């Protein structure tokens, strides 16, 4: 392991920080996917995110960790503008994807969400058949034409989500009849069926048992070959297992953004170290 | 130090007594309500069921020249006294419509007049002179009989109690409710969808919301006044028509449908909306493809109950002229019609004894339809209820 051990700093990264990780992960891909600059967010008068800077790289898993209420999920929802749905939210700063500001008035949030899919904390399949759960969105976005094409896409999405073998004989049963872990993989299949660039996962395994969790983690590892994955997790072992980069959030700020191995073996900040070792949060 | 069981139990005794007392009070309240319901039904059934039977009398008809001018002449004058005047008047028309009848004769069962009917059913009646004995004789001979009252279901209102029926009112009710449904359902559902899924939460929408809730509590006769002022006087919609009645009832049903729809929409979990937004649905697609299908059972239930309420409504229809003597089925939405509760109201005001059972019979039919509607609302909800 050729991890560069950086100087330990006690203060969190200042606002002038460039948004790049403290230590580079040599195995990771470094093409830029989403660039976040000076991003602040208010719920009414309460500021939830304070001038965040971060570069998210393509075809990696980036984990967001931190104590409850630190803004991880809020930040995640900024990336596909799900915060628009909450009344009284005000966003400032830049979230740039593919050279475009996603918060610009010209940006259509529907187009954005086609390219930035999302998986939620609680599995939430549509109360329709398994087949319809997958086929609905591609059909809506005119990605498929004929029935055969649609069948093929459903199979591919379910295979990619590692669910095909389990459900191929009951595609027309309701999606809600599956187990929790299967439902969550169905939601992942639903997200990748529209071939997005980025998949946001908001604590995707927090409602699942350990075996289903392990399955989802393996799946994330496979999916990152094609997709950029940003996941929020409360489970630090999970972050250590699946993520290439990890960002530690605290009180609406990104305290440390680092190579995962470095973050867990030799964090650059005192706060991150305290949190990771369980002395805090 | 903790208290012993005995000490605790002695304190509890009083509380147990109180809850037992409360249980008895609430049970007797329920029993009283049930008793009233049973009494009401027994009374209605006792009064109304005879309306489904009517007295018929067998007569020999001779279609003579004289009978084509005056129907009574076709019958034996003794028996003719017992026959309904409605039928007497029908004879000349029958001959006119079918001249071949002239000179022939036949024996057939015809409607008896309502006094005979009342006598046979053991009610107070105004049979004169030897008429009661005559009826008794004919009953002995098997020439007067109680039969199922087809007239009640196949004719409109009549001044003659024996030939008064509810068909015109029933058809009028269906037409009126169709208009109500066609207006109130789409407007109500779309209003609720807008308020619940699209509208920002500000002063204006809060004001609208409060007003909709208040509308549901407004005395229905005021909607009738509104219908008279706006629809009839301003827009010139024909009065007494199913169109104006339906529009008036739609005003009354709208808040019910809006409130039911909003409740149904609110019961759809947000996780479904998030899932739909997450795959890139526009707001309208979220509502159309995901939220509305899930809310539909609730919306349908609420709408059916709203319609059932509108169906039993009389007050606003008095104002727009639908409480009237309507002997014929209305041929179109713009011609005079009446509805079931209005028909019942009209009959209740008739002085003749025979109309009492008509009134009760009409109430039974209305009740049966209302129970059917409410039951189908429950069944629909059960059938389409989905878990998520």
Per-residue pLDDT of A238-247, as tens digits, reads 999 999 999 9
Is A42 within the bounds of a domain? yes
Is A27 within the bounds of a domain? no
What distance in Å separates the CA atoms of residue A239 and residue A221, rounded to the nearest whole number? 12
Helices A180-192 and A147-160, interaxial angle, to 10°? 120
Q: Do B274 and A176 touch (CB under 8 A)?
A: no
* DSSP line for B105-164: EEEEEEEBPHHHHHHHTT------TTHHHHHHHHHHTT-EEEEE-HHHHH----SSGGG-
Q: What is the dihedral of CA B207, B213, B216, B222, to 10 degrees?
A: -30
Find all residues with CB under 8 Å of B309, minimum gap 6, and list them.
Answer: B252, B253, B256
pLDDT at A269 over 60: yes
Query: What is the arrangement of strands in the sheet containing A46-57, beginning at the earlier edge strand?
Result: A46-57, A32-43, A89-97, A100-101
| Residue A245: predicted pLDDT | 94
| Residue B81: predicted pLDDT | 85
Q: Domain holding A74: CATH number?
A: 3.40.50.300
Is A180 within the bounds of a domain? no
Pick A137 or B387 by higher pLDDT. A137
CB A79 within 8 A of CB A230: yes
Any CB–CB contact under 8 A between B200 and chain A? yes
Superfamily of domain B167-384: MetI-like (1.10.3720.10)
CA B269 vs CA B82, B281, B292: distances in Å = 69, 16, 12
Using CA coordinates, name the residue in chain A closest to B197.
Answer: A85
Is A12 within the bounds of a domain? no
| Residue A259 main-chain phi, psi, to 5 deg | -55, 135
Place of tokens 């990104």: A254
Per-residue pLDDT of A107-131, as tens digits, reads 898 999 999 999 999 999 999 999 9
| Residue B232: predicted pLDDT | 93
CB B307 within 8 A of CB B253: yes
CB B195 within 8 A of CB B360: no
Total domain count, chain A: 1
Is A64 within the bounds of a domain? yes
> What are B116's two structure tokens?
């005979």
pTM for the structure as a whole? 0.82
Residue closest to B193 by CA, chosen among B87, B318, B286, B85: B286
Confidence of residue A5 (pLDDT cuts 50, 70, 90): very low
Q: Do A176 and B281 touch (CB under 8 A)?
A: no
State which H helix or E strand residue A77 sits in.
helix A72-79
From the list B274, B280, B290, which residue is nearest A120 (CB)? B274
Place of tokens 């008794």: B136
Using CA coordinates, name the residue in chain B closest to A137.
Answer: B279
Any CB–CB contact under 8 A between B289 and chain A? yes
pLDDT at A3 over 60: no
Q: Do B200 and A87 touch (CB under 8 A)?
A: yes
Per-residue pLDDT of A8-27, as tens digits, reads 444 444 434 678 888 888 88
What is the average per-residue pLDDT within A225-237? 93
Q: For B236-291, where are the alpha helices, taking DSSP H only?
A: 242-266, 270-278, 283-285
Q: Which domain covers residue A200, as residue numbers?
A: 32-126+192-276
The rounded mean pLDDT for chain A is 88
- Residues in chain B with CB shorter than 8 Å from the CB of A118 are 274, 278
Low-confidence ranges of chain B (pLDDT < 50): 388
What distance in Å separates the CA atoms of residue B52 and residue B357, rounded to the nearest whole number? 9
Confidence of residue A280 (pLDDT cuts 50, 70, 90): low
Is the ipTM, as predicted for this complex, more than 0.90?
no
| Residue A11: predicted pLDDT | 45
Per-residue pLDDT of A193-228, as tens digits, reads 999 999 999 999 988 899 989 999 999 999 999 999
From the list A118, A122, A141, which residue is nearest B278 (CB)? A118
Q: Do A136 and B201 touch (CB under 8 A)?
A: no
Per-residue pLDDT of B7-21, as tens digits, reads 888 888 888 999 999
Confidence of residue A95 (pLDDT cuts 50, 70, 90): very high
CB A262 within 8 A of CB A270: no
């Amino acid at each position: 392991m050729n991890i560069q051990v950086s100087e330990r700093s006690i203060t969190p990264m200042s606002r002038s920080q460039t948004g790049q990780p403290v230590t580079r992960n040599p195995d990771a891909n470094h093409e830029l996917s989403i660039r976040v600059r000076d991003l602040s967010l208010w719920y009414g008068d309460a500021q939830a995110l304070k001038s965040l800077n971060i570069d998210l790289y393509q075809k990696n898993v980036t984990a967001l960790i931190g104590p409850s209420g630190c803004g991880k999920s809020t930040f995640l929802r900024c990336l596909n503008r799900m915060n628009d749905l909450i009344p009284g939210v005000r966003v400032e700063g830049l979230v740039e994807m593919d050279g475009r500001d996603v918060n610009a008035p010209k940006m259509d949030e529907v187009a954005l969400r086609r390219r930035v899919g999302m998986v939620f904390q609680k599995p939430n399949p549509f109360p329709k058949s398994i087949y319809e759960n997958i086929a609905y969105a591609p059909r809506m976005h005119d990605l498929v034409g004929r029935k055969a094409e649609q069948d093929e896409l459903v199979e591919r999405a379910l295979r990619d989500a590692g669910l095909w073998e389990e459900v191929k004989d009951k595609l027309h049963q309701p999606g809600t009849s599956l187990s929790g872990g299967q439902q969550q993989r169905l939601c992942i299949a639903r997200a990748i069926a529209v071939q997005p660039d980025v998949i946001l996962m908001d604590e995707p395994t927090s409602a699942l048992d350990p075996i289903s969790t392990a399955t989802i983690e393996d799946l994330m590892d496979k999916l990152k070959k094609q997709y950029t994955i940003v996941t929020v997790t409360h489970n630090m072992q999970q972050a250590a297992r699946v993520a290439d980069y990890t960002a530690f959030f605290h009180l609406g700020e990104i305290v440390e953004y680092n190579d995962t191995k470095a973050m867990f073996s030799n964090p650059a900040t005192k706060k991150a170290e305290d949190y990771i070792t369980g002395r805090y949060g | 130090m903790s208290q012993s069981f005995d000490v605790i139990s002695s304190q509890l005794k009083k509380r147990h007594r109180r809850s037992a007392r409360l249980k008895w009070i609430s049970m007797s309240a329920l029993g009283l309500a049930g008793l009233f319901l049973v009494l009401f039904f027994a009374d209605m059934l006792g009064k109304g069921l005879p309306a489904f039977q009517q007295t018929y009398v067998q007569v020999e008809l001779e279609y003579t020249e004289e009978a084509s001018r005056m129907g009574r002449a076709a019958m034996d004058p003794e028996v003719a006294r017992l026959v309904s005047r409605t039928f007497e008047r029908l004879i000349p028309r029958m001959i006119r419509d079918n001249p071949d009848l002239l000179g022939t004769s036949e024996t057939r069962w015809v409607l008896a007049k309502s006094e005979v009917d009342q006598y046979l059913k053991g009610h107070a009646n105004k049979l004169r002179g030897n008429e009661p004995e005559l009826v008794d004789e004919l009953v002995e001979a098997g020439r007067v009989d109680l039969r199922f009252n087809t007239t009640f279901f196949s004719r409109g209102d009549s001044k003659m109690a024996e030939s008064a029926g509810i068909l015109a009112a029933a058809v009028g009710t269906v037409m009126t409710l169709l208009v109500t449904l066609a207006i109130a359902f789409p407007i109500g559902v779309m209003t609720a969808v807008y308020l619940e899924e699209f509208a920002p939460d500000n002063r204006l929408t809060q004001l609208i919301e409060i007003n909709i809730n208040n509308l549901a509590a407004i005395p229905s006769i005021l909607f009738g006044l509104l219908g008279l002022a706006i629809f009839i006087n301003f827009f010139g919609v024909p009065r007494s028509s199913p169109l104006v009645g339906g529009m008036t009832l739609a005003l009354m049903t709208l808040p019910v449908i809006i409130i039911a729809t909003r409740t149904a929409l609110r019961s759809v979990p947000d996780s479904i909306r998030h899932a739909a937004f997450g795959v890139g649905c526009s707001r309208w697609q979220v509502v159309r493809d995901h939220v509305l299908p899930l809310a539909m059972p609730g919306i349908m239930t609420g709408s059916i109950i709203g319609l059932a309420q509108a169906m039993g409504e009389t007050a606003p229809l008095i104002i727009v002229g639908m409480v009237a003597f309507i002997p014929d089925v209305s041929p179109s939405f713009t011609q005079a019609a009446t509805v079931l509760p209005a028909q019942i109201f009209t009959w209740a005001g008739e002085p003749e004894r025979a109309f009492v059972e008509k009134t009760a019979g009409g109430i039974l039919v209305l009740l049966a339809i209302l129970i059917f509607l409410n039951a189908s609302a429950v069944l629909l909800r059960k059938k389409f209820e989905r878990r998520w």
